[in-house]
Structure 1
Amino acid sequence: MREISSDITFEVSADQVASVRVARSTRLTVHCGAVWVTRSDDVADYWLEPGHTLRLRRGERLWIGAEQGRAAWVAFATPARVSERVADWATRLAARWGIHARDGWRTV
């Protein structure tokens, strides 16, 4: 199992399942290939395609596998500055009110 505490990009092989633990709140982005993600303390599974993102909570564990028999590339990005965290919070708050910034992120 890998622990994610900083920005990292890695390949998920077609025949393996990657297990990771999130040390800091972060965002997973799929760069190439389709993946499925199972999260600890969540009853839903997530199927993500290139360009899709998933916000992750500190302390959760993930299992990630590639779909369609091909390898996939995923990236984890941690918030770098307080201003980014404030902007993410404001975006989530705006989305609750039905206002979308159209910033290019698709959050699942």
Structure 2
Amino acid sequence: MEEASQQFLYSRSTQDGARTAISLPRVVIYFAVDPATTVTWRICADSELRVHGNARLWLTRHRSPYDYWLQPGETIRLERGERIWLSVEDDASAEVSVTSPHVERHRILRRWFTRRRAWVFGSLMPRRRS
């Protein structure tokens, strides 16, 4: 392993207000963009897109006047909620990876239901006598 795993900033701050960097689980999606096709993608979490292989990748963002030509090995940061379009310049496919931190959705709501269920069912359960 030549590179250390990437670290993301944890959303909570320490008591002195500094943000801490810890290793979080990551989700990596690999796919290929074939010639003469355009792939569209809506980004669900802040991500990093990396180009692999030998083909240049064309990327455009919704509401951006600029297009990006990414060489193999280059990366670009993408923000949650963005819509992007990808295509290739050559007759070869471009291999792409999108890496984002694992986001557990509805965690607060799930924890609330778990606590309520334990409170309700815990009070209805017969108690053991010692």
TM class by smaller structure = 0.5 to 0.7
Structure 1: how far apart are the matches of 2:36 and 2:63?
25
**RCO (CA 8 Å, sep 6+): is it higher in 1 or 2?**
1
Query: Which residue does 1:46 correspond to in 2?
Result: 68
Unpaired runs of at least 5, structure 1 = 1-5, 82-108
Q: Structure 1 stretches (4+) deviating beyond 3 angstroms?
A: none
2:31 equivalent to 1:10: yes
Per-residue Cα deviation, 1:7-65 (whole angstroms, up to 9, x for no partner): 20100001100000000000000011211000012110000011100100000000000
Larger radius of gyration: 2
Structure 2: how far apart are the matches of 1:63 and 1:80?
23
15, 28, 37: which one pairs with 2:49?
28
Aligned length: 76
Structure 1 length-normalised TM = 0.66
Per-residue Cα deviation, 1:39-98 (whole angstroms, up to 9, x for no partner): 0121100000111001000000000001122111000000359xxxxxxxxxxxxxxxxx
Q: Percent identity at matched positions?
A: 37
Structure 2: how far apart are the matches of 1:18 and 1:74?
11
Structure 1: how far apart are the matches of 2:93 and 2:37?
9
Structure 1: how far apart are the matches of 2:84 and 2:61?
5
Q: CA RMSD in A?
A: 1.5
